[in-house]
Amino acid sequence: MKSTSRRQFLSFIFFLYLFSCTQVTAENKKNRIPAVNRNLESAIANMYGYARYFNPNKQLSKLNWDKFLMYALRESQYIPENKDSIRIFLEKTFRPLIPDMQLTKESQSPPVQSVLTKKNNSGKAWFYRHYGFGSQKLYTGKDNFYSKIVYEEGNDQTPAIDSLYSYKILNDLYLHYPIAVSEQNKQYNKELKNLIKTIDTIDIRITKYPFIKVLYKSFRAPKNTNDLYGSYMPIFHQDKSLFKANLIERWNIIKHFYPYLKEEGFTDEKMNQLLLTYLNKIDENITNEFAEENLKERFVSFFYILKEFMANFRDGHAIEYTNITGNSKMMVTYLSVSQHPLIALDFIEDTIVSRFDLEGKNINTGDTGIIKRGDRLVSVNSIPVDSLLSMKLKYITSSNDITRKDRFLTDGFSTEKKDSVFRFVFESSTGDHIEFDNNVADRSWGKILKTYTKKNKFINNLGNGIYYIALSSDSLKEKTFSDFISSHSNSIKALIFELREYPAPEAADILPHLSADSIRWGNYKLPTRYFPNQEYVIWTGDEMMPAKQPSLKNIPCYALIDKNAVSYGESIVNTLKKNKLATLVGTNTSGTNGDMSHIDLHDISMFDFVMTVGKDLDGYHSVGVSPDIQVKQTLEDYRKGKDTVFEYVKKLLE
């Protein structure tokens, strides 16, 4: 048989195959009540990740992946829960996306020539290149993280051209497909067009009205029982497939791109079990009832399911946004408002205590007494603190237990109502109980997030040649520090660097002045990925910092550190330790380092999130940089307004 006739014959056979599958599915729908097929949902989740992020099919640029995922999940409810039915359904659903795929019971790849179309011999291929994942634009304006299909010559670090790679989908079910192809397969364009036409019937818009009209308030939606926030929103009226699709999306991003997955012990088996656990939570906690009064509650419930899911990973950078976000064609609508009390709190000696009010004063409650600095928190809204922590900590993503509890103070008092009132009960040093009612609507974000009062002055003379350097100061400039060294070279006896606050942008620039030789930045690297499942990742980025003049020689330097040294701050601490530039005093840093990446799930218009992209190869992830001298803030000193760590270093120098 000639090759052209053979291809036509195979295409005809495959058309009959798809037609028969469609008939089976239609018959299933007719005779079956929709039911959860958890094995098939898990298989769809795994197939989705391989198809979307490592399948170099340029024909998919117009595919709405979120609608496709919702469609697949909805159709899965009518498929019998047996291996053959699952395999046939996955073949029918995913082949328009991955024309060269095969699903078999064996892990060994089938012969390449049996599935791949005729390829060229140019040596070039299409494949995915991922520089990190997501975007930094939200924070830095830079878009140095990106994922795209490239067409380049292959090398020993890229996937083998036109070869099948095998991945486990379920027990006894394996996907085989190429992740680098020398030619784009256009054989199944018709099936892909039909698929796109089918899934486009799913409406997940934030509003049915034009964005520009709503934005400029030139249009008012008619008031009726279906109106929410001024216009009917199709996204509110979706079934559970919307929520499951959003979970599956972030599960795949974590699985393929979260850099510490293996260090944290997440095997494929554990990740699959995690997925099943939270798919179950969606089925158990989110109703399919579309009554108007229930719509917001469904999204709030899902938000906390996502928070609990993310809290399984030790990423102190991870943040769940509490609003639905959309792309330029969508309206932004707040569903859950994170509110915080007007009273500032601290964790001292593993106890939540008052840190005065936001103006640094005692709180006079009137009838019940005065809340002073260091008074212990007993309960919130009649819930004992220990019980409150056990309820809330599971929703807080953090690098370790210490930082998780600390984050609770700014993340754990969230509420959906802007006029919520918290009733706090404190215990004074004498054992008296003091009640305080606080309406959270008047909160001030900026002041609540500060643990220490920023020193406006960059360089502070403590006398006797000892200088306190506030690295968080708004006035910090490298030139100021350079001039200070030049003018005080004979009088400087010791320097104390404050690193318990987030450093100013130029803080790292002064470090080369502390050494006569070049210094090495922390062993922090960014990934380039060509393969799924965190395989064969290429880590790059080892930075040397040349010494700068003038430099300090043989001058004792101390750095004050604790859990508030995070990200950029922890990088500076790591550099001081690695190059022996200062003696570290205090407690462990946060164990959170690396660039933050904004993960924009804009297509589905659900909750966006943030995670770490790069990797700390010095091993401080979730542990933190340990001090050379461990000193903890005591509650006794705290009540007196005394900084235990700072006073220790001053006494040491004296």
* 79, pLDDT greater than 50: yes
Distances 391 to 229, 276, 304, 386, 572 between C-alpha atoms, Å: 31, 22, 12, 9, 35
One domain for residues 287 and 243: yes
- Domain housing 580: 459-653
One domain for residues 514 and 645: yes
Query: Which pLDDT belongs to residue 342?
Result: 57
Report the pLDDT averaged over residues 129-149. Answer: 83
CB 160 within 8 A of CB 180: yes
d(CA 287, CA 294): 8
Domain stops at, among 168, 199, 230:
199
At residue 237 the predicted structure's pLDDT band, cuts being 50, 70 and 90, is: confident
d(CA 41, CA 300): 23
Check residues 338 and 547 and name the one with the higher pLDDT.
547
Residue 65 lies inside a defined structural domain of this protein: yes
CB 519 within 8 A of CB 511: yes
Query: Which pLDDT belongs to residue 254?
Result: 96
CB 254 within 8 A of CB 532: no
Report the pLDDT averaged over residues 505-519. Answer: 94
Give the least confident one: 403-412, 467-476, 542-551, 559-568.
403-412
Name residue, tokens 């498929």.
Answer: 79
* 369, pLDDT greater than 60: yes
Give the least confident one: 5-19, 340-354, 417-431.
5-19
Domain stops at, among 394, 419, 448:
448
At residue 445 the predicted structure's pLDDT band, cuts being 50, 70 and 90, is: very low
Query: Which pLDDT belongs to residue 453?
Result: 45
Indicate the average pLDDT of the chain. 83
Residue 338 lies inside a defined structural domain of this protein: no
* 234, pLDDT greater than 60: yes
Q: What is the CATH number of the domain that holds 372?
A: 2.30.42.10
Question: Positive or negative CA dihedral for 371, 376, 379, 385?
Answer: positive
One domain for residues 114 and 195: yes
d(CA 467, CA 497): 9
Query: Which pLDDT belongs to residue 29?
Result: 62
At residue 319 the predicted structure's pLDDT band, cuts being 50, 70 and 90, is: confident
Element of type H or E holding 573: helix 568-578
* 333, pLDDT greater than 80: no
* 14, pLDDT greater than 80: no
Domain stops at, among 177, 199, 221:
199
* 16, pLDDT greater than 60: no
Check residues 335 and 606 and name the one with the higher pLDDT.
606
Query: Which pLDDT belongs to residue 215?
Result: 53
Residue 308 lies inside a defined structural domain of this protein: yes
Report the pLDDT averaged over residues 82-107. Answer: 93
Residue 6 gets which letter from DSSP? Answer: H
Distances 312 to 46, 305, 408, 566, 607 between C-alpha atoms, Å: 19, 11, 16, 20, 18
For the question of whether the overall pTM of this predicted structure is more than 0.95, the answer is no
Residue 418, SS3 per DSSP: coil
Query: Which pLDDT belongs to residue 600?
Result: 78
Give the least confident one: 5-19, 136-150, 280-294, 341-355.
5-19
Report the pLDDT averaged over residues 442-447. Answer: 40
Query: Which pLDDT belongs to residue 436?
Result: 85
Report the pLDDT averaged over residues 359-388. Answer: 86
Query: Cis peptide before 550, with omega less than 30 degrees from 0?
Result: yes
Task: Please name every residue paired with 174 in a beta bridge, in sequence order, or none if there are none.
Answer: 104, 168
One domain for residues 177 and 63: yes
Report the pLDDT averaged over residues 168-186. Answer: 92
d(CA 303, CA 606): 9
- Structurally, the chain folds into a number of domains equal to 4
Residue 453 lies inside a defined structural domain of this protein: no
